[in-house]
Amino acid sequence: MFILLACGMGASSGFLAQSMRKSAKKKGIEATVKAVSDTQIDDFANEMDFLLIGPHLKHRFAEIESKMTANGVTVMLIDQDHYSSLDGESVLNEVLTRI
């Protein structure tokens, strides 16, 4: 499973991605979790299974979702509370409920 997190610069989501990787490892789940800036999303369009969008990009969600679902990617908006607390376990659990 390849999960891509996107935010404005990729910095905040980098910490969240690290937390998600730790949680996946603890749960015995094989997952690649990578964080990028929103300008890099298209570079991974054919590789990712899930795209998680930072809550501050909510205004672009419909546009991104439309483009990525055409590639078979599940797109989700990251919960603001989970994002701000860098709660990778909760974000990963949300992804797992969509599988």
pTM for this structure? 0.93
Per CATH, is 2-98 categorized as 3.10.450.50?
Answer: no
What pLDDT does 95 receive?
97
What pLDDT does 10 receive?
62
Beta strands 50-53 and 2-7, pairing class: parallel
pLDDT digits (tens, 9 = 90+) for 70-80: 999 999 999 99
What pLDDT does 12 receive?
80
| Paired tokens of 64 | 């991104």
pLDDT band at 4 (very low <50, low <70, confident <90, very high): very high
What pLDDT does 18 receive?
96
> What's the rounded Cα separation, in Å, for the pair 15 and 2?
17
pLDDT digits (tens, 9 = 90+) for 8-67: 876 788 999 999 999 999 999 999 999 999 999 999 999 999 999 999 999 999 999 999
Give Cα 34 to chain centroid, integer Å: 8
Write the DSSP string, 25-80: HHHT---EEEEEEGGGGGGGTTT-SEEEE-GGGGGGHHHHHHHHHTTT-EEEEPPH
